[in-house]
Structure 1
Amino acid sequence: MPVAVITGASKGLGRALAEALAQRGWDLVLGARTSDVLARSAEHARVHGTRVVAVTGDVNDAGHRAELVAAAGELGGLDLLVNNASALGAEPLVRLDALPLEGLRVALETNVVAVLGLVQEALPLLRAAEAGTVIALSSDAAAEAYETWGGYGAAKAALDQLAAVLAVEEPELRVWAVDPGDMDTDLYTAAVPVDGDGEYRPAPETVVPGFLRLLDERPVSGRYGAPALLGGS
């Protein structure tokens, strides 16, 4: 069975992806910081009869990253690495003139530096896989200028560039930066606690088919957005 490592897998999109892959027979290594919530996510995935290893920890910790990859190796290898764990840098989000520099450092460390660290740890197993794949969770804030989203958007823009260069340097892999669009998640609520725009935001589960389409069709490495993946414009 193929093996995937998913960070930030205790809830939201990470949990939804884990369940969808488990339904397809994937074995999983799930990582997150909160052990009890992560355990529930793992149990949901195990219902489908696959092997699921829950590894509690912070992606900023090199030891945790090594543990995630080691767990994948014990399951037989690593076919897919989903870098879903993320940090806003400020909760709620603030304008750049009020953004704590330490908050920006946290966003960069979690969204970029930790991702590269995990990729470096995982590359030997990904290179050995028949269809080694890396997914980096991007954001429209990486490409558009939204008030208060500057720190987070800058980190995600850096992540997009990291993914693009990785794709050039590792042509045998598929490397996709994926913008899932706005979703009804704890991350968005933390970013904008009082959101008065009245706009509907879909549940993370509704975006999962786009990720499955990528895995089924395996297009060239690059940046992809949810609307196109889900069949829209």
Structure 2
Amino acid sequence: MDLHLAGRRALITGGSKGIGRAVAEALAGEGVDVILVARDAAVLAEAAQVVRARRQVNVATIPADLSREDEVVRVAREAGEIDILVNNAGAIPPGTLAAVDNDTWRRAWDLKVFGFISLCRAVYPAMAARGSGVIVNVIGAAGEKLPANYIAGSAGNAALMAFTKALGRASPADGIRVVGVNPGSTATQRMEMLLRHRAQETLGDAARWMELCRDMPFGRPGKPEEIADAVAFLASPRSGYTTGTILTVAGG
């Protein structure tokens, strides 16, 4: 299916690995020029080289720490005019209310929650001035399931879901669509870290984390590419009447 995205420009945060990198490849496969943002310049450059080698599109990188407001502003300025923003950066650590201290909670939210919101605020005015644009927030199914042993992530994701729905309800007046994707367990380094933590808690051995995948839908975690394809479709004109909604991709 042609998604009618060729020639557009997308800014993808957390674009150096995992879901972000898969989104970059999916959009590039549709002819979209991509700008990848992540903290680690070396890993970012390697990811860009892989995408560039596979697809005949322009691939740029902007190393940045999106937990800082000044860096968010710089990224928006350096990226220039974009058609699609994919907010994906952020890793909130697991833990109960007692286990996650204030500093850890605030650092995690500065990147995942306020980083998403700040970048939306930075790019939205230019999209509104043109009367077009799409924002896709890759959030996480914990915002629906609300596990207490991932309380900072549950609360942060729920906040971003509400933000996405609220902004997406108003954005059609500016010609903009705002949507979200809630991945379930997805086969990334991030997932392995979380499952190792859970295996230590429940099985007493972090090395047994793969055992926790047995009861997942279809007996496996999702693939980054499966999330990326959903993002690409939502960002495309094929989904042009969709806004203010969240698509859950968690295997049922």
Once the 2 structures are TM-superposed, how far is the Cα of residue 64 of structure 1 from its aligned partner? 2.4
Once the 2 structures are TM-superposed, how far is the Cα of residue 155 of structure 1 from its aligned partner? 0.5
User: In the superposition, relative to structure 1, how do residues 226 and 130 fare at CA in structure 2: closer, same or farther (>3 Å)?
Assistant: farther
Once the 2 structures are TM-superposed, how far is the Cα of residue 134 of structure 1 from its aligned partner? 0.7
Match of 1:185 in 2: 188
Partners of 1:69 and 1:97 in 2: CA distance: 37
Query: Is 1:53 aligned to 2:60, yes or no?
Result: yes
RMSD of the alignment, in Å?
1.8
Match of 1:223 in 2: 246
Once the 2 structures are TM-superposed, how far is the Cα of residue 23 of structure 1 from its aligned partner? 1.6
SS in 1 for 2:145: coil
Query: Is 1:80 aligned to 2:80, yes or no?
Result: no
Query: Is 1:139 aligned to 2:140, yes or no?
Result: yes
Query: Is 1:198 aligned to 2:213, yes or no?
Result: yes
Partners of 1:190 and 1:110 in 2: CA distance: 18
Normalised TM-score (structure 1): 0.88
Match of 2:203 in 1: none
Match of 1:101 in 2: 102
SS in 1 for 2:90: coil
Letter in 1 for 2:8: P
Match of 2:228 in 1: 208
> Is the Cα–Cα contact under 8 Å of residues 95 and 147 in structure 1 kept in the other structure?
yes
Once the 2 structures are TM-superposed, how far is the Cα of residue 72 of structure 1 from its aligned partner? 2.6
Letter in 2 for 1:81: L
Once the 2 structures are TM-superposed, how far is the Cα of residue 114 of structure 1 from its aligned partner? 1.5
Q: What does the per-residue CA deviation read over 1:187-210, in whole Å, with 9 as the maximum and x for residues that have no partner? A: 122223232423321320132222
SS in 1 for 2:119: helix
Aligned length: 223
Once the 2 structures are TM-superposed, how far is the Cα of residue 130 of structure 1 from its aligned partner? 5.5
Q: What does the per-residue CA deviation read over 1:109-144, in whole Å, with 9 as the maximum and x for residues that have no partner? A: 112211111111111222244541111112111011
1:62 to 45, 66, 69: 69
**Range that drifts further, 195-204 or 5-14:** 195-204
> Is the Cα–Cα contact under 8 Å of residues 82 and 136 in structure 1 kept in the other structure?
yes
Letter in 1 for 2:160: L
Unaligned runs of at least 5 residues, structure 1: none
1:117-128 to 2 correspondences below 5 Å = 117-128=118-129
Partners of 1:192 and 1:103 in 2: CA distance: 19
Match of 1:148 in 2: 149
> Is the Cα–Cα contact under 8 Å of residues 78 and 129 in structure 1 kept in the other structure?
no
Partners of 2:222 and 2:88 in 1: CA distance: 18
Match of 2:30 in 1: 24
2:39 to 33, 36, 59: 33
Query: Is 1:5 aligned to 2:18, yes or no?
Result: no
Unaligned runs of at least 5 residues, structure 2: 1-6, 197-205, 215-219
Q: What does the per-residue CA deviation read over 1:7-55, in whole Å, with 9 as the maximum and x for residues that have no partner? A: 0000001001101111211111110011111101111222212111111
Percent of residue pairs bearing the same amino acid type: 28
